Amino acid sequence: MLIISTDGGTVQPQHTVDTLVSISGERYDFVLTANQPPGNYWVRVRGIGFCDPMRVEDFAILSYHTQETFPPASGLTVAQTLSYPQEPLPAYDDAYPEGVVFNHQTAPCYTPNDTYICAADLESYEVFRDNELIDAVPDHTFFLGFNVIQANNSLLFSKRGFSHFATVRDRFNTIGATNMISFVPPSFPLLIQPEQIVDESAQFCNVSHKPAHCTDDHLCFCTHRLKVQPNDVIEIVLYDTAQVLQKFYHPFHLHGHRFIVTDTGRFPSDILTDQITYLRNLQTVRRPNAHCPPYKDTMSIPNRGYVRVRFRADNPGFWLVHCHFEWHLANGMGLVLQIGEPAEMLKPPANFPRCGSYQPPIEEAGGEPVGAVP
């Protein structure tokens, strides 16, 4: 597979791989050269990470056959015959050659002289590039630590803790957060109904502006928002706050823009808590050949590692920044990036449907509905 594009952005055709690891939300295009002897070849696709124990796998058959090499069944064409292959499916444990792996789960990507091929190694191959972005001084640098909080019963039965959590295994309940803020969705869509924001200060929070019920160090539930001006250069340093190394990583996804990846790596084993200080002092070293970092909109954060991305905030709006594991987003691992004021944003079409939180009328036993909320 010759990789030619990721997340819709073309890349130099430099890497031919046998196994491609694509995380939630990522996309890849590749060119496959059919240069093997005639025959049937299994294409195997399997889930990784959390799906490992479930042994999830699917198959396709890639057939190199012609009328001459593959006599069709009577009354059928070659294509029709191949639609019902006789081959038994390989068992899950049947070995297959991984060969050259792209985005290997445990690869120390982007370290000098390593032999792994990761998304950050790709070279952009786009005609219209924002070349100044690579070396521009960012207007904002945000450090975003992705947290997985194990929710114990005292948290779950507290006033806010029950609002969103996921039971991952038996009694293992998790709540997602970024910088210890678990995202509470607003009760209306910000992008299409911004006029419903009456008091920004009360509506939104961030690490330096938390609601009164939040105390330092503790998990805070509120509508996490970062606000920037249109055309600001934004650098986001995303890092995994996990203290134990595991085969697990958060796929970071940005709406409304695409970014360039300028650095990625893993924390040394002794960096367990003060990751931001480590990241601030880090001298970003781009590979000598990485003059054209790829444009992407989804990027995995290495386990106990970090990714540095940057983009120009040239699309005014309210955009979700989130982990692309859907259950992590649902239980709070996300935030909103607001670019510009609502007056600068594109308006929804006339008669665009409106929506908001629905609270059904509460019926008293045997009585009339009470407390109906418009």
What's the min distance (Å) between Cβ of 329 and Cu ion?
Answer: 8
**Which positions from 5 through 44 interact with Cu ion, judged by CB under 5 A?**
none
Residue closer to Cu ion (CB basis): 204 or 325: 325
The whole-angstrom distance between residue 171's C-alpha and the CA centroid of its chain comes to 26
What's the min distance (Å) between Cβ of 250 and Cu ion?
Answer: 3
What's the min distance (Å) between Cβ of 301 and Cu ion?
Answer: 8
- Chain residue at closest Cβ approach to Cu ion: 323
Please choose, from the candidates 291, 282, 186, 182, the residue with its C-alpha nearest in 3D space to the C-alpha of residue 235.
282
What's the min distance (Å) between Cβ of 238 and Cu ion?
Answer: 11
DSSP track, 51-110: GGGGT-EEEEEEEE--TTTSPPPTT--HHHHHTS--SPPPPTTS-----SEES-TT--TT
**CB within 8 A of 74, min separation 6: which ones?**
none
What's the min distance (Å) between Cβ of 120 and Cu ion?
Answer: 19
Residue closer to Cu ion (CB basis): 279 or 323: 323
CA distance 14 to 39: 28
What's the min distance (Å) between Cβ of 8 and Cu ion?
Answer: 22
Residue closer to Cu ion (CB basis): 332 or 340: 332
**CB within 8 A of 166, min separation 6: which ones?**
173, 174, 175, 327, 328, 330, 331
**Interface pick for Cu ion out of 275, 328, 332, 339 (rule CB under 5 A):** 328
Of 2-10, 38-46, 66-74, 315-323: span binding Cu ion (CB under 5 A): 315-323
Residue closer to Cu ion (CB basis): 290 or 325: 325
* Residues touching Cu ion, count (CB under 5 A): 4
Of 22-30, 243-251, 259-267, 269-277: span binding Cu ion (CB under 5 A): 243-251
Residue closer to Cu ion (CB basis): 133 or 180: 180
CA distance 38 to 59: 19
**Interface pick for Cu ion out of 3, 290, 321, 323 (rule CB under 5 A):** 323
Residue closer to Cu ion (CB basis): 103 or 124: 103
- For the stretch 221-224, contacts whose Cβ atoms lie closer than 8 Å and that sit 24 or more positions apart, written own/partner, are 221/160, 221/161, 221/163, 221/181, 221/182, 221/184, 221/332, 222/181, 222/184, 223/183, 223/184, 223/185, 223/186, 223/336, 224/178, 224/179, 224/181, 224/183, 224/334, 224/335, 224/336
The whole-angstrom distance between residue 40's C-alpha and the CA centroid of its chain comes to 34
What's the min distance (Å) between Cβ of 324 and Cu ion?
Answer: 7
Of 131-139, 179-187, 318-326, 348-356: span binding Cu ion (CB under 5 A): 318-326
What's the min distance (Å) between Cβ of 155 and Cu ion?
Answer: 19
Residue closer to Cu ion (CB basis): 323 or 339: 323
Of 197-205, 220-228, 248-256, 261-269: span binding Cu ion (CB under 5 A): 248-256
DSSP track, 2-34: EEEEETTEEB-S--B-SEE---TT--EEEE---
Neighbours of 210 (CB within 10 A): 18
Residue 250 interacts with Cu ion (CB under 5 A): yes or no: yes
Residue 325 interacts with Cu ion (CB under 5 A): yes or no: yes
CA distance 262 to 133: 10
Residue closer to Cu ion (CB basis): 124 or 300: 300
What's the min distance (Å) between Cβ of 273 and Cu ion?
Answer: 20
CA distance 210 to 181: 9
Residue closer to Cu ion (CB basis): 177 or 345: 177
Chain contacts with Cu ion (rule: CB under 5 A): 250, 323, 325, 328
